[in-house]
Amino acid sequence: MATVRILPDRVANQIAAGEVIERPAAVVKELVENALDAGATRIEVEFRHGGRSLMRVEDNGRGMGKDDALLALERHATSKISEAADLDRLASYGFRGEALPSIASVSRFELQTRETGRDVGTELLVNGGKLLHVNDCGRPVGTRIVVTHLFNSVPARRKFLKTDQTEAAHIIQCVRFYALASPQAAFTLIENGRVIFRSPECANLADRVAEIFGRQTAESLVPIQTEEGGMRLNGLIGRPGVGRATRHEMVIFVNQRPVDSRTLNYALIESYHESLPKGRYPLAFVFFECDPALVDVNVHPAKREVRFRSEPAVRAFVIRSVLGRLRELSVPVEPLAPAVGPGQRVISPVPTSAVHRSPQTPTGPKVDPVARPCPVPDNAIQAKSAPPVAAPTGTLSPTEQANGGTPSWRLLGLAHGNFALFETRSGLVLLDRRAAHERIWFERLQEQFRGGQVPSQRLLLPVPMELDPIATALLLERLEFLVAHGFEVSEFGRNFFRIEALPTWMEPADAEPFMRDMLGVLREGRFQGKNLDLAREELARLAVAKAVRLPETASESEVRSLLTQLFATRHPLTSPGGRPTYIELNHAELARRFQKLT
C-alpha cells in the first residue's frame, strides 16, 4: 500500500522547474526580469550553443547580501510581495519566488552578487540543487548569474530541446522583447563570443522595433497613443493592408510585461476586420497600461498569460482606439475585396463573341492561360477543411466516361467573375473557377516536386528580406529544401537575406510575402520538414493558395479547357484546402427551393 510522504525540496524544485523552465530562453527570461526588478540600468546577456553550455546574465542593480542570496535559493522566497493583497497591486515582473531554485535544481548555477554599501560580495555555487560552497568575492555592485549544463540532472529534458540555432533564436527574441519593454535599461546580447546587439538607454520605440524586426517592418508601422477611463494604449500598429500569415508579430505588453492575451489579440484582429483579408493578422507593438488591480498575472508560472477583471471594457477600448487611428490615416479604411460591378450581380450569359469558337481555336485540350499562378491580392481565399463532396448524380454518361470523364455540361454564363454556371441533364452545376485552378496547379506542382524538376528563374535584381531571429533560424534550417524546389536564398548578414532565384510560376513581387507566409506556417508547426512528402504537399498547397488570380471574364473555350483539366486530376471534387470545386442543384432540390410539387 502506497504511503503518503512529503517530497524532498530537491525533487519539488525539479518538478517546479518543469513548469517554469521549459527551455533555455525561459532561464534568460527569469534572470532578466530579476535584473529589471532590481533597478538595473545595464544588463548584459551572454550564451553559448543555444544556452545548453552557458547562459550568463549580469546587471548593475541593487544586488543582495549574503543572507538574502542564500534565502533566494529557497522555494517561494521573494522580495517582491509579502502578503496576498500584494497580488492586486503588482509593480514587478517576478513575485512567485520559484525561478532561482528551479534553475539551480536542473543546472550548475553560480551566483555572484554585491549590494550597495558593502565592501565585498557573495558567491554561491549550486549543482543540481546541491549547495557546494558559499564564499566572499570581489565584484561591482549588482548581480552576475552563470548557468551551465542546463538539465544535467534531468537528461530526458535535454532530448526535447531543439537545435542550437532554434534555441538561440528564442533567447534573442526574449531579450529583445525586454529591451523593447524597458527603454530605461541598456541591453547587450552576446552569442558565442560575438555581440549580437547593443541597445542604448531611452531609445526611440520605432528604432528599437527596426533593430528587432527589421527596417522593412518598422517602415510599415504608425504610432498610436490613446487614453480613456484609466486605460492607456500606445505603441506602433501596422498600416491598413499590411498583414502577416501568423500572429507572431503581434507583440503586446501589459504594464510593461510581454504577454499572450487572448482579449487583446482578438481586439486587434477585430479592429483590422475591414483593413485586412480574412486569415491575415496585423502588425502591432503596443503597450497597454491599466491599474494593476484590474489585471491578474498569476495565471501560469511562466506569467505569459493574463486576465482582466473587465475584459469587455478592455476589448472595446482597444477596438475604439485602433479603429480611430486607422481612420486618421491618409489611406481610407475599406474592404480589400474587389468591388462587384453592377453587371456582376446577376448571372450574365457569355457574350456571343466569347461563346463563338473561331476556326483558329484548338479543338483539343490546351493549357488555360489564366490557370498559370500569378500574384494574388492578400484577400485570397484561405484554405479551410471541408467535408468531401459527392459527385453530381447522373451527370456523366458512358460516352463521357469513355472520353476521360469530362462532362458535356452546357455553359450558361459567369456569375461574379469567379463562378461558371452549367446546365446538366440532372439540373444545374456551379463551378468555382478559383478552386478548380488551385486543384489543377496543386497536382502539377506536386508532380514537379516529386520529379525534382522545378523550373527556376534567376532575378536580375535580388529581393532583399529582413527577418526576426526565430524566422531566420527556421529559414536557415530549410535552405537546402528551398533550393531543391526552385528557390535560391542567400544569407547577406545577420537576419538579412537576398532572394536570388524563384520558380517560374512566381512573380518577383510576390517573393518576399510568400517567403514570410511560408515561415509563418513553419512557426505554427504545419510544415513538417522531416517528412519530405508532407513538406512538398504543404509547399504546393501554400503556393496555389497564394498564387492563383483569375480575370473577371473568360471565354467559353477557356472555361471548357478548365473543366477538362480539372477532371483529368486525381481528386477533381475538392481544392487542396478541402473546398468543393463545384456544387450541384438537381431537379429535386430546385423543385424544393421553388416549392413545386414533384
Pairing label, strands 295-296, 257-259? unpaired
Please say whether the beta carbons of 503 and 486 come within 8 A. Answer: yes
Residue 405 has which C-alpha cell?
Answer: 470523364
> What gap in Å lies between CA 32 and CA 196, rounded to an integer?
17
237 band by pLDDT with thresholds 50, 70 and 90: very high
> What gap in Å lies between CA 118 and CA 120, rounded to an integer?
6
Residue 33 has pLDDT above 60, yes or no: yes
Q: Which domains does the chain have, with CATH numbers?
A: 9-201 (3.30.565.10), 207-328 (3.30.230.10), 363-598 (3.30.1370.100)
Short-list 189, 181, 167, 178, CA closest to 32: 178
Phi, psi of 102 (to 5 degrees): -70, -45
Kind and range of the H or E run holding 226: strand 221-228
**pLDDT given for residue 348 in this prediction:** 37
> What gap in Å lies between CA 349 and CA 371, rounded to an integer?
22
Please say whether the beta carbons of 424 and 392 come within 8 A. Answer: yes
Q: Which amino acid is at 61?
A: G
Pairing label, strands 250-254, 284-289? parallel
> What gap in Å lies between CA 564 and CA 405, rounded to an integer?
9
**pLDDT given for residue 482 in this prediction:** 86
190 band by pLDDT with thresholds 50, 70 and 90: very high
> What gap in Å lies between CA 200 and CA 419, rounded to an integer?
57
Short-list 79, 72, 67, 60, CA closest to 99: 72
Residue 224, burial from CB neighbour count under 10 angstroms (0-12, 13-18, 19+): buried
Please say whether the beta carbons of 196 and 494 come within 8 A. Answer: yes
11 band by pLDDT with thresholds 50, 70 and 90: low
Q: Which amino acid is at 90?
A: L
Q: For residue 585, list its beta bridge partners.
A: 428
**pLDDT given for residue 389 in this prediction:** 36
Q: Which carries the bigger pLDDT value, residue 510 or residue 596? A: 510
Q: Looking at residues 291-311, what average pLDDT do you find? A: 79
Task: Please write the tens of the pLDDT for every residue from 158-170.
Answer: 878 888 888 888 8
3-class secondary structure per residue, 111-148:
EEEECCCCCCEEEEEEECCEEEEEEEECCCCEEEEEEE
**pLDDT given for residue 233 in this prediction:** 95
- Let me know the angle formed at the C-alpha of 499 by 495 and 500, rounded to the nearest 5 degrees: 135
Q: Is the dihedral of CA 497, 471, 51, 200 positive or negative?
A: positive
pTM: 0.64
Residue 307 has which C-alpha cell?
Answer: 486576465
Across the chain, mean pLDDT equals 78
Q: Looking at residues 294-310, what average pLDDT do you find? A: 78
Q: Which residue has the cell 414533384?
A: 598
Please say whether the beta carbons of 106 and 157 come within 8 A. Answer: yes
**pLDDT given for residue 379 in this prediction:** 34
Q: Which carries the bigger pLDDT value, residue 397 or residue 70? A: 70
Q: Is the dihedral of CA 547, 551, 557, 559 positive or negative?
A: positive
SS3 319: helix
Q: What angle do the packed helices 556-567 and 433-451 form, to 10 degrees?
A: 50
Lowest mean pLDDT among 346-360, 475-489, 513-527: 346-360
CA dihedral in degrees (455, 457, 462, 464; nearest 10)?
A: -30
Residue 377 has pLDDT above 70, yes or no: no
> What gap in Å lies between CA 73 and CA 97, rounded to an integer?
9
> What gap in Å lies between CA 208 and CA 189, rounded to an integer?
14
Q: Which amino acid is at 276?
A: L
| DSSP letters for 471-523 | HHHHHHHTHHHHHTTT-EEEE-STTEEEEEEEETTS-GGGHHHHHHHHHHHHH
Please say whether the beta carbons of 321 and 233 come within 8 A. Answer: yes
> What gap in Å lies between CA 568 and CA 137, rounded to an integer?
78
Lowest mean pLDDT among 283-292, 294-303, 410-419: 294-303
